[in-house]
Chain A
Amino acid sequence: MFPAMQDILEIEGLTKTYDGGFTALNGVDLTIRKGEIFALLGPNGAGKTTLIGAVCGLVQPSSGTIRAFGEDMGRHWRTLRRRIGLVPQELATDMFETVLHTVNYSRGLFGLAPDAARVEQILRTLSLWDKREESLSALSGGMKRRVLIAKALAHDPELLFLDEPTAGVDVELRRDMWTHIAALREQGTTIILTTHYIEEAEEMADRVGIIQKGRIRMVEETRAMMARLGRTEAVFTLAAPISAIPEGLSGHSLSLAEDGGALVYRGGDGTGQGKSEVAALTKALIAHKVDYTAIDIRESNLEEIFVNLLENQSDTGEGA
């Protein structure tokens, strides 16, 4: 852990009510630390894209303040926006331009002098160099998305928003994308991403934030969240059904399956404590002469945690 991490983005009381009267963001407070990868998770329509849009100038906030790099976005946008990059959720580009042209354009638009070497480097990293003279209309969806990423990287932003960067990207390429994102973080770029693939957040994010109905439900370090809410589950298929859990095993958070054919362990905290308890349990079962034919052990992942959280909270504090 870095002892004194600087805050690169501070959002306070951000509310957005669209023209139709729908409140997509409802008093959002969120602080992003310099150098981290932050994953914003939430169901469809939760307000993720709206939140990103409000920071990047696409959405006019109804109220609240946004500070980036310690300065007010509303007042200093001309200088601050040069340091912020955005990869939008929708594949939106002028389809008649070539890859190289559109990336150079992005760099100039953000006020930087042309730099052929830097642009080449970006295109090579994203495996687009061979396609540089192709017009965008001739590229596949996954390639177009990478072009949007190249465009966003063209001005070397310090703060990068990736709105569903891996939507519609194949498995191999998604792994690739993770590597790119990790490399960017190595270079010091702060990254805020949204995704519906929870394992992506689990894999990459230092912290995750959960947004639902325009409110931030929870912000926590990914590891700490896994540890706090993570569970180990082990199912012992028994050689012969039993009618009750033996006396001596009562301290092991066990439950008996309905037909008495399996013992189920649930416990631990996502840090590995559960696994060692299962190991201890295997010996205890033998000692108590409970024979078993199979052990199925698994860790609950962020996805389950996420689903549980949303289910538990959806009936409290309804957002507008």
Chain B
Amino acid sequence: MSLFNARSAWTIYKHELARALRTALQSIIAPLLSTMLYFVVFGAAIGGRMESGLEGVDYGAFIVPGLLMLTLLSESTANGAFGIYMPRFTGAIYELLSAPVGFAETLVGFVGAAATKSLVLAAIIVGTARFFVDYTIVHPVLVLCFVLLVSASFSLFGFILGIWAKSFEQVGMVPSLFVMPLTFLGGTFYSINLLPEPWRSVALFNPMVYLVNGLRWCFYGQADFPVIVSLLMALGFLALCIAIIARIFATGWRLRS
């Protein structure tokens, strides 16, 4: 009995990346442009007059990890969601369901491709940001690991969303109504410690706060919380998403009638 059809997984992975290339404008250029606009406005233009709250890090550099996180989370979620929602919508999912692919192949294929796209986007953003602000990454390897972890988790989250959704609206709703605003308010542009009470305590209930801070720590070695908290939050979320998807595949929920 075979446990994993590697070629099937690889085929899905390539197919999804090809789809992304076909829509390169939408999947790379659009998010890149909006991120760059933030850098121009908040980093270069207003940033000079702002305090970051971190020692030796000016405001323009301070917002780089936050903005990166903002893009990563919404793009990973959207990529993961559309990857599976599209075939559900067109009916092409019949082939996937009749193919020798299960939980493992689907995850590696769809989520792997979604995460790859996020990584490429992250690399482009980090590279382009240098044109606008000056910064030095303290833990580059950790940045890579954290970006990978977050991309994978939110691609998985998007995948669940894409299986749950019954319309295009619902697919688009969650990233723009929850992921984006929560990240925006989650310390992308300011340190949580600068907030007055009770807003600081309220902010602690926002999970994005820990992710943004985790990445910021990897960038500059300082953040509002110990990095281990962020790491545990991210790993916990990853585990939760995997467990939910395993359950979806076991029951066939919204996949098999």
Contact = CB atoms under 8 A, between A and B. Distances in A.
B87 A18 contact: no
Interface in B1-31: 1-3, 5, 7-8, 10-12, 14-15, 18, 22
A79 B8 CA distance: 12
A109 B8 contact: yes
A82 interface: yes
B257 interface: yes
B127 interface: no
Contacts of B102: 77-78
A63 to B, nearest CB: 15
A78 B7 contact: no
B246 interface: no
Contact of B256 (A59, A90, A95): A59
Interface string B95-114: 11111111000000000000
Contacts of B90: 92-95
Contact of B94 (A86, A111, A112): A86
Contacts of B22: 96
B145 interface: no
Nearest to B6: A111
B86 interface: yes
A108 B8 contact: yes
Contact of A110 (B14, B86, B91, B100): B100
A78 B257 contact: no
A72 B7 CA distance: 23
Contacts of A79: 1-2, 100
A106 interface: yes
Q: Report the interface size class on chain B.
A: 20 to 34
B5 to A, nearest CB: 5
Contact of B97 (A58, A90, A151): A58
Contacts of A86: 94-95, 98
B98 to A, nearest CB: 4
Contacts of A80: 100
A98 to B, nearest CB: 11
A110 B8 contact: yes
B48 interface: no
Contacts of B93: 92
A1 interface: no
B144 to A, nearest CB: 29
A112 B8 CA distance: 8
B7 A113 contact: yes
14 contacts: A18-B257, A19-B257, A58-B256, A60-B256, A60-B257, A77-B102, A82-B100, A86-B94, A86-B98, A92-B91, A92-B92, A94-B87, A95-B90, A108-B10
Given A78-B100, A92-B91, A108-B10, 10 more contacts: A59-B257, A60-B257, A80-B100, A88-B91, A93-B92, A106-B95, A108-B7, A109-B8, A109-B95, A111-B7
